[in-house]
Chain A
Amino acid sequence: MTQTLSSLGADAPDASVLNETQLLDVYRTMRSIRAFEDRVHDEFATGDIPGFVHLYAGEEASATGVCAHLDPDRDTIASTHRGHGHCIAKGVDIKPMMAEIFGKSTGSCRGKGGSMHIADLSKGMLGANGIVGGGPPLICGTALAAKIKGDGGVGVAFFGDGASNQGTTLEAMNLASVWNLPAIFVAENNGYAEATSSTWSVAADNIADRAAGFGMPGVIVDGFDFFAVYEAAGEAIKRARQGGGPTLLEVKFTRYYGHFEGDQQKYRGPNEVANIKESQDCLKRFRARVVETGRLTDAQLDQVDAQVATLIDEAVAEAKAAPVPSPEDLLTDVYVKY
């Protein structure tokens, strides 16, 4: 059974579920992700960032709408190669993140992991993952641990439309149902797995249609609408906390940048991204909603924008100034004790 939650019409999710502080908070998160990714895009173009980066710009509402319900100590998330947004939404510090992307010793992973492996286990963030479909089985484990501990914690596996076809994802959904785990599977369908369209690679009409095959509810969500994501995620997480088992959320949206930085994106239609940015952008829609309903002012939001911009500037400056790991670091931390 799949439902569709749209932000239009009488069924529109209620902005009043969040108070002013919370609204500013989630806006800050989304703006931070956007600013972070746009800046990484710029910095990457200069050649200062080693390796590959995969940017989350455009998708902010998904990570933020889901993670707004999560606690740092008892809830966990697993992410993808496109993990910066999930990291920020789960509360991983931005400055170490930036340093990690630059490969510096002050990075979240001491420069040993890079963009695709940013993690902060102390905040329940199991890491961006370089393996498509690597996250869902891990979340079966963290959800199992939460269930055994009985602390009401949940595990959220974020994965893309590409990973939705990966065997590991399907096995994990089955196992989560069989073991009745407090796990939420968030399929972030941004329309493309690398250069391949999801409408082609996913055999079903919707990824969410597969939920029934795994004995769990499936919900389709407008990924450009923070409030839609927030509401759908809230229900799924609440159900999981109460022992009701897993849910599959399919968040539909798009990514503004290429699969990786450097991707010429020739597989996309002309003006595809520009059009979406104009009409669907999640930050614009959020602002419109909260200002129109008198919850927040433009000035308040502008202030957040400015603060975030400063933070990102600082993060970049500090990351650039930070030292690279020393030669000894090559050999450390393979084992706790060998």
Chain B
Amino acid sequence: MPKWGLSMEAGKVTDWLVSVGDEIENGTELCEIDTDKIAGELESTWTGVVRALVVEVNVSVPVGGTIAVVAPADVPQDEIDAVVAEAREQLESGAIEDDSGPKVQTIEVGGHQISYAVLGEGDSEHDPVVFVHGYGGDKNSWLFVQEPISADRVTYALDLPGHGASSKGVGEGTVPSLAKVLLGFLDAVGVSRAHLVGHSMGGAVITAAAADPSGSGKVASLTLISPVGYGPDINAEYLRGFAEAESRRELKPHLLNLFADPGLVNRQLIDDLLKYKRLDGVDEALRTLVAGLVEGDKSAVDVTADAAGFGGPVVAVWGREDKIVPASNAGGLSGSATVHLVDGAGHMAHMEKPHDVIAAIREATGT
């Protein structure tokens, strides 16, 4: 059972997509998993044969519990049986302890307390990847993506000021000022060069960071997911509505615009966002950000000039059904950028089609 999100403690397999005996490879969808926060598909990162399905559907399994066994075809059955028996015993006894997830820490950056999740081991060949969420989001939104990317390098997912567990003052709250915080963060955690991955407003922030004089030489590549700042069209009503909403009734209709599949807007998601919005200082932070993001019903942010000046790889992923920052804005990307339009995804491709986002990041990082 994977750890999807820092607070996830358990999940349920709701549907097996493979059977015993199936051959699988990297990217094969194994099963559908539901935590109370999100539902998603678990993709294989191994090659082999499915030798056993350890758990039934709709049974709660703690994070780290074994749910299936994949092995080469020639491993003897009795070995498989022994592994399955042990796994089932562990699940029964509740003896699973899992601390494989990202480590959450806090660091001071220019007067802000920045919370971040770090995962993976570094080495000199692989520059770290740093994930930057969007307006109203947090480091948890990288739940499907951070772990696979951390297989060969250190990864950092931070909470921007005003978001998540970081301090809630946003200062000017403009894209350039947030870019400075991002660069300050890299310095603070001792990262001299990183691949930046940014979603929505985060996409504009990483672009601005690449162009900021103090970012010179620090940015190895940019992976942009539905980025703000590459075109004029934006759902200003969503941005304002998200800031102003005070109740589930007011918030839900806006959230439905985030995903291609509105079923992903479940009670827990809405609840978590309401809890976030109730924190002291958040509404003020969001309003400040909105004032910098939109002018009337158009985007007030333009990072195309910043992007033009960046010499490294740029890969963009855009859900075709994006209702917040329409995919038509992709035209603002320079000719040297690679753009992947994804079917069946809206504004949140990293949650809806993580496989495509992972692939895009690997492309940008040259893996």
Asked whether any CB of A lies within 8 Å of a CB of B in the complex, the reply is no
